Amino acid sequence: MKWQGRRQSSNVNIGGAGRRGGMAPIGGGGLLIIMLIVFLMGGNPLEVLNNGSSRNTTQQVSTQHSQETKTRQEFLSVVLADTEDVWKEIFKQHNLNYSEPQLTLYTGSAQSACGTASSQTGPFYCPGDETVYMDTDFYDDLHNKFGATGDFALAYVLAHEVGHHVQHQLGVLDQVFALKNKLSEVEFNQYMIRLELQADYYAGVYAHYAKKMGYLEPGDIEEAMNAAAGVGDDRIQEQAYGKSIPDTFTHGTSEQRMRWFKKGYESGTIEAGDTFSVKNL
Protein backbone atom coordinates (compact mmCIF):
# COMPACT_ATOMS: atom_id res chain seq x y z
CA MET A 1 0.00 0.00 0.00
CA LYS A 2 1.20 3.49 -0.81
CA TRP A 3 1.17 5.22 2.55
CA GLN A 4 4.48 6.99 3.20
CA GLY A 5 4.28 10.76 3.34
CA ARG A 6 0.49 10.90 3.53
CA ARG A 7 -1.84 12.37 6.16
CA GLN A 8 -1.92 10.67 9.52
CA SER A 9 -4.99 10.76 11.73
CA SER A 10 -4.98 12.98 14.81
CA ASN A 11 -7.20 10.44 16.60
CA VAL A 12 -4.40 8.01 17.45
CA ASN A 13 -3.34 7.46 21.05
CA ILE A 14 -0.16 5.63 22.00
CA GLY A 15 -0.66 3.76 25.28
CA GLY A 16 0.06 0.56 27.23
CA ALA A 17 3.05 -0.56 29.21
CA GLY A 18 5.59 -3.39 29.14
CA ARG A 19 6.26 -5.94 26.43
CA ARG A 20 4.16 -8.83 25.28
CA GLY A 21 3.76 -11.43 27.98
CA GLY A 22 4.39 -8.89 30.72
CA MET A 23 8.15 -8.85 30.17
CA ALA A 24 9.93 -5.56 30.76
CA PRO A 25 12.18 -4.57 27.84
CA ILE A 26 15.84 -5.36 28.44
CA GLY A 27 17.48 -2.91 26.09
CA GLY A 28 20.76 -1.07 26.46
CA GLY A 29 19.78 0.46 29.81
CA GLY A 30 19.19 -2.90 31.49
CA LEU A 31 22.53 -4.22 30.29
CA LEU A 32 24.36 -1.15 31.64
CA ILE A 33 22.89 -1.78 35.09
CA ILE A 34 24.14 -5.36 35.03
CA MET A 35 27.63 -4.23 33.97
CA LEU A 36 27.70 -1.63 36.78
CA ILE A 37 26.84 -4.28 39.37
CA VAL A 38 29.63 -6.54 38.06
CA PHE A 39 32.12 -3.64 38.23
CA LEU A 40 31.18 -2.73 41.82
CA MET A 41 31.67 -6.36 42.84
CA GLY A 42 35.21 -6.34 41.45
CA GLY A 43 34.49 -8.18 38.24
CA ASN A 44 35.24 -7.34 34.63
CA PRO A 45 32.22 -5.72 32.99
CA LEU A 46 33.49 -6.79 29.57
CA GLU A 47 32.82 -10.40 30.50
CA VAL A 48 29.12 -9.58 30.46
CA LEU A 49 29.45 -8.78 26.79
CA ASN A 50 31.05 -12.16 26.13
CA ASN A 51 28.25 -14.12 27.78
CA GLY A 52 25.37 -14.24 25.34
CA SER A 53 24.57 -11.28 23.10
CA SER A 54 26.85 -8.26 22.98
CA ARG A 55 25.73 -4.83 24.07
CA ASN A 56 25.67 -3.66 20.46
CA THR A 57 23.53 -6.62 19.43
CA THR A 58 21.13 -5.97 22.31
CA GLN A 59 20.83 -2.34 21.35
CA GLN A 60 20.35 -3.24 17.70
CA VAL A 61 17.50 -5.63 18.54
CA SER A 62 15.88 -3.03 20.81
CA THR A 63 16.29 -0.31 18.20
CA GLN A 64 14.95 -2.55 15.45
CA HIS A 65 11.87 -3.42 17.52
CA SER A 66 11.30 0.25 18.34
CA GLN A 67 11.59 1.20 14.66
CA GLU A 68 9.18 -1.57 13.61
CA THR A 69 6.69 -0.39 16.23
CA LYS A 70 7.00 3.22 15.08
CA THR A 71 6.53 2.22 11.44
CA ARG A 72 3.39 0.24 12.28
CA GLN A 73 2.01 3.13 14.30
CA GLU A 74 2.58 5.53 11.41
CA PHE A 75 1.08 3.08 8.91
CA LEU A 76 -2.05 2.52 11.00
CA SER A 77 -2.39 6.28 11.52
CA VAL A 78 -2.48 6.74 7.75
CA VAL A 79 -5.01 3.91 7.32
CA LEU A 80 -7.23 5.42 10.01
CA ALA A 81 -7.03 8.79 8.25
CA ASP A 82 -8.14 7.09 5.03
CA THR A 83 -11.13 5.47 6.75
CA GLU A 84 -12.09 8.89 8.11
CA ASP A 85 -12.16 10.32 4.59
CA VAL A 86 -14.03 7.33 3.17
CA TRP A 87 -16.78 7.14 5.78
CA LYS A 88 -17.25 10.89 5.99
CA GLU A 89 -17.93 10.88 2.25
CA ILE A 90 -20.29 7.89 2.39
CA PHE A 91 -22.21 9.27 5.36
CA LYS A 92 -22.46 12.66 3.61
CA GLN A 93 -24.03 10.93 0.60
CA HIS A 94 -26.76 9.69 2.96
CA ASN A 95 -27.20 13.03 4.74
CA LEU A 96 -25.52 11.71 7.87
CA ASN A 97 -22.64 12.99 9.96
CA TYR A 98 -19.73 10.64 10.64
CA SER A 99 -18.11 10.91 14.05
CA GLU A 100 -14.49 9.77 13.90
CA PRO A 101 -13.40 6.95 16.23
CA GLN A 102 -10.23 6.94 18.31
CA LEU A 103 -7.45 4.39 17.86
CA THR A 104 -5.36 3.30 20.83
CA LEU A 105 -2.14 1.51 19.91
CA TYR A 106 -0.41 -0.24 22.79
CA THR A 107 2.15 -2.86 23.64
CA GLY A 108 1.35 -5.18 26.53
CA SER A 109 -1.99 -3.90 27.81
CA ALA A 110 -4.27 -0.87 27.94
CA GLN A 111 -7.49 0.04 29.70
CA SER A 112 -10.71 0.55 27.76
CA ALA A 113 -14.32 1.25 28.69
CA CYS A 114 -14.94 -2.40 27.76
CA GLY A 115 -12.23 -3.79 30.05
CA THR A 116 -8.53 -4.50 29.74
CA ALA A 117 -7.07 -4.74 26.26
CA SER A 118 -4.16 -7.12 25.88
CA SER A 119 -2.32 -9.12 23.26
CA GLN A 120 -4.53 -12.09 24.19
CA THR A 121 -7.78 -10.26 23.40
CA GLY A 122 -6.64 -9.19 19.95
CA PRO A 123 -7.84 -6.02 18.18
CA PHE A 124 -11.35 -4.89 19.09
CA TYR A 125 -13.73 -1.96 18.99
CA CYS A 126 -15.24 -0.62 22.21
CA PRO A 127 -18.51 1.29 21.68
CA GLY A 128 -18.32 2.59 25.27
CA ASP A 129 -15.49 4.96 24.36
CA GLU A 130 -15.78 4.69 20.55
CA THR A 131 -12.20 3.48 20.32
CA VAL A 132 -10.40 0.73 18.42
CA TYR A 133 -7.73 -1.02 20.51
CA MET A 134 -4.83 -2.76 18.81
CA ASP A 135 -1.57 -4.23 20.06
CA THR A 136 1.18 -2.98 17.76
CA ASP A 137 2.65 -6.50 17.79
CA PHE A 138 -0.56 -7.99 16.35
CA TYR A 139 1.03 -8.05 12.91
CA ASP A 140 3.34 -10.76 14.24
CA ASP A 141 0.25 -12.82 15.14
CA LEU A 142 -1.19 -12.27 11.67
CA HIS A 143 2.01 -13.62 10.19
CA ASN A 144 2.89 -16.40 12.64
CA LYS A 145 -0.55 -17.66 13.72
CA PHE A 146 -2.81 -16.83 10.80
CA GLY A 147 -0.42 -17.00 7.86
CA ALA A 148 -1.22 -13.48 6.65
CA THR A 149 1.60 -11.21 5.49
CA GLY A 150 1.87 -7.75 3.97
CA ASP A 151 0.88 -4.32 5.22
CA PHE A 152 -2.62 -4.47 3.76
CA ALA A 153 -3.41 -7.46 5.95
CA LEU A 154 -3.03 -5.10 8.90
CA ALA A 155 -5.03 -2.42 7.07
CA TYR A 156 -7.86 -4.94 6.66
CA VAL A 157 -7.90 -5.62 10.41
CA LEU A 158 -8.14 -1.93 11.28
CA ALA A 159 -10.75 -1.30 8.57
CA HIS A 160 -12.81 -4.19 9.98
CA GLU A 161 -12.75 -2.69 13.49
CA VAL A 162 -13.66 0.72 12.08
CA GLY A 163 -16.54 -1.12 10.41
CA HIS A 164 -17.86 -1.87 13.89
CA HIS A 165 -17.71 1.86 14.62
CA VAL A 166 -19.79 2.44 11.50
CA GLN A 167 -22.30 -0.08 12.84
CA HIS A 168 -22.30 1.77 16.15
CA GLN A 169 -22.96 5.06 14.35
CA LEU A 170 -25.86 3.50 12.44
CA GLY A 171 -27.38 1.90 15.54
CA VAL A 172 -26.76 -1.67 14.38
CA LEU A 173 -24.64 -2.63 17.40
CA ASP A 174 -27.38 -1.58 19.82
CA GLN A 175 -30.00 -3.50 17.88
CA VAL A 176 -27.97 -6.70 17.88
CA PHE A 177 -26.87 -6.62 21.52
CA ALA A 178 -30.43 -5.89 22.62
CA LEU A 179 -31.17 -9.47 21.53
CA LYS A 180 -28.49 -11.05 23.73
CA ASN A 181 -30.77 -11.84 26.68
CA LYS A 182 -33.69 -12.81 24.46
CA LEU A 183 -32.06 -15.59 22.50
CA SER A 184 -30.16 -18.77 23.20
CA GLU A 185 -26.40 -18.65 22.81
CA VAL A 186 -26.54 -20.56 19.54
CA GLU A 187 -29.21 -18.23 18.14
CA PHE A 188 -27.37 -15.11 19.25
CA ASN A 189 -24.15 -16.41 17.69
CA GLN A 190 -25.90 -16.29 14.32
CA TYR A 191 -26.49 -12.57 14.76
CA MET A 192 -22.89 -12.08 15.83
CA ILE A 193 -21.71 -13.78 12.64
CA ARG A 194 -23.83 -11.42 10.57
CA LEU A 195 -22.45 -8.49 12.54
CA GLU A 196 -18.86 -9.55 11.90
CA LEU A 197 -19.41 -10.31 8.23
CA GLN A 198 -20.93 -6.87 7.77
CA ALA A 199 -17.77 -5.38 9.32
CA ASP A 200 -15.77 -7.44 6.80
CA TYR A 201 -17.96 -6.00 4.05
CA TYR A 202 -17.27 -2.47 5.30
CA ALA A 203 -13.55 -3.24 5.29
CA GLY A 204 -14.00 -4.15 1.63
CA VAL A 205 -15.77 -0.84 1.02
CA TYR A 206 -12.73 0.94 2.46
CA ALA A 207 -10.48 -1.07 0.11
CA HIS A 208 -12.71 -0.08 -2.82
CA TYR A 209 -12.11 3.60 -2.08
CA ALA A 210 -8.42 3.07 -1.37
CA LYS A 211 -8.06 1.64 -4.87
CA LYS A 212 -10.11 4.50 -6.31
CA MET A 213 -7.75 6.99 -4.66
CA GLY A 214 -4.73 5.19 -6.12
CA TYR A 215 -3.32 3.91 -2.83
CA LEU A 216 -3.40 0.17 -3.50
CA GLU A 217 -0.49 -1.79 -4.90
CA PRO A 218 -0.45 -5.19 -6.64
CA GLY A 219 -1.12 -7.94 -4.12
CA ASP A 220 -2.84 -5.75 -1.51
CA ILE A 221 -6.29 -7.29 -1.95
CA GLU A 222 -4.79 -10.77 -1.82
CA GLU A 223 -3.12 -9.82 1.48
CA ALA A 224 -6.46 -8.72 2.90
CA MET A 225 -8.17 -11.88 1.63
CA ASN A 226 -5.50 -14.05 3.24
CA ALA A 227 -6.01 -12.21 6.53
CA ALA A 228 -9.78 -12.66 6.32
CA ALA A 229 -9.31 -16.37 5.63
CA GLY A 230 -6.80 -16.72 8.45
CA VAL A 231 -9.21 -15.44 11.09
CA GLY A 232 -12.18 -17.54 10.01
CA ASP A 233 -13.81 -19.45 12.88
CA ASP A 234 -13.41 -22.79 11.14
CA ARG A 235 -9.70 -22.34 10.47
CA ILE A 236 -8.95 -21.06 13.98
CA GLN A 237 -10.83 -23.93 15.63
CA GLU A 238 -9.29 -26.55 13.39
CA GLN A 239 -5.83 -25.28 14.25
CA ALA A 240 -6.60 -25.21 17.96
CA TYR A 241 -8.78 -28.31 18.41
CA GLY A 242 -8.40 -30.32 15.22
CA LYS A 243 -12.04 -29.75 14.29
CA SER A 244 -14.58 -26.96 13.92
CA ILE A 245 -17.82 -26.55 15.89
CA PRO A 246 -20.23 -24.44 13.78
CA ASP A 247 -22.68 -23.75 16.64
CA THR A 248 -19.92 -21.84 18.44
CA PHE A 249 -18.94 -19.69 15.46
CA THR A 250 -19.18 -15.94 16.12
CA HIS A 251 -17.27 -14.41 13.18
CA GLY A 252 -17.99 -16.64 10.20
CA THR A 253 -16.00 -19.16 8.20
CA SER A 254 -12.92 -18.29 6.19
CA GLU A 255 -14.92 -18.55 2.98
CA GLN A 256 -17.66 -16.26 4.29
CA ARG A 257 -15.23 -13.64 5.54
CA MET A 258 -13.35 -13.54 2.25
CA ARG A 259 -16.57 -13.42 0.24
CA TRP A 260 -18.11 -10.53 2.15
CA PHE A 261 -14.88 -8.55 2.08
CA LYS A 262 -14.67 -9.08 -1.67
CA LYS A 263 -18.31 -8.09 -2.06
CA GLY A 264 -17.67 -4.80 -0.27
CA TYR A 265 -14.55 -4.22 -2.35
CA GLU A 266 -16.42 -4.78 -5.61
CA SER A 267 -19.54 -2.83 -4.60
CA GLY A 268 -18.18 0.16 -2.70
CA THR A 269 -21.68 0.99 -1.42
CA ILE A 270 -23.11 0.72 2.06
CA GLU A 271 -26.47 -0.60 0.79
CA ALA A 272 -25.19 -3.97 -0.47
CA GLY A 273 -23.81 -4.87 2.96
CA ASP A 274 -27.05 -5.83 4.69
CA THR A 275 -25.96 -9.21 6.04
CA PHE A 276 -29.04 -9.38 8.26
CA SER A 277 -31.61 -9.65 5.47
CA VAL A 278 -29.98 -12.34 3.35
CA LYS A 279 -31.02 -15.93 3.98
CA ASN A 280 -27.75 -17.63 3.15
CA LEU A 281 -24.51 -16.03 4.26
pLDDT digits (tens, 9 = 90+) for 29-48: 333 333 333 334 444 544 43
Q: Assess contact for 276 and 196: CB atoms under 8 A.
A: no
Please indicate, yes or no, if residue 70 is contained in any of the structural domains: yes
Please indicate, yes or no, if residue 206 is contained in any of the structural domains: yes
Q: What share of the chain is helix, strand, coil (3-state, %, to 5)?
A: 55, 10, 35
Closest CA to 203 of 125, 140, 117, 136: 125
pLDDT of residue 147: 83
Please indicate, yes or no, if residue 30 is contained in any of the structural domains: no
The total domain count for the chain is: 1
Please indicate, yes or no, if residue 73 is contained in any of the structural domains: yes
User: Which amino acid would we find at residue 125?
Assistant: Y
Q: Assess contact for 76 and 134: CB atoms under 8 A.
A: yes
CA atoms within 13 A on the CB side of 156: 31
Q: Is the pLDDT of residue 265 over 60?
A: yes
Q: At 26, is the pLDDT very low, low, confident or very high (cuts 50, 70, 90)?
A: very low
pLDDT of residue 234: 94
What is the pLDDT averaged over residues 7-12? Answer: 97
Please indicate, yes or no, if residue 2 is contained in any of the structural domains: no
Between vectors from CA 278 to CA 276 and to CA 90, what angle results, nearest 5°? 60
pLDDT of residue 22: 30
Q: Which domain holds residue 215?
A: 65-267
Please indicate, yes or no, if residue 47 is contained in any of the structural domains: no
Per the model's pLDDT, the better-predicted residue between 44 and 87 turns out to be 87
* Cα 83 from Cα 162, distance rounded (Å): 8
pLDDT digits (tens, 9 = 90+) for 140-192: 888 888 888 899 999 999 999 999 999 999 999 999 999 999 999 999 999 99
Please indicate, yes or no, if residue 118 is contained in any of the structural domains: yes
How many CB atoms are located within 10 Å of the residue 257 CB? 30
Q: Is the pLDDT of residue 78 over 90?
A: yes
User: Which amino acid would we find at residue 15?
Assistant: G
What is the pLDDT averaged over residues 12-27? Answer: 47
Please indicate, yes or no, if residue 274 is contained in any of the structural domains: no
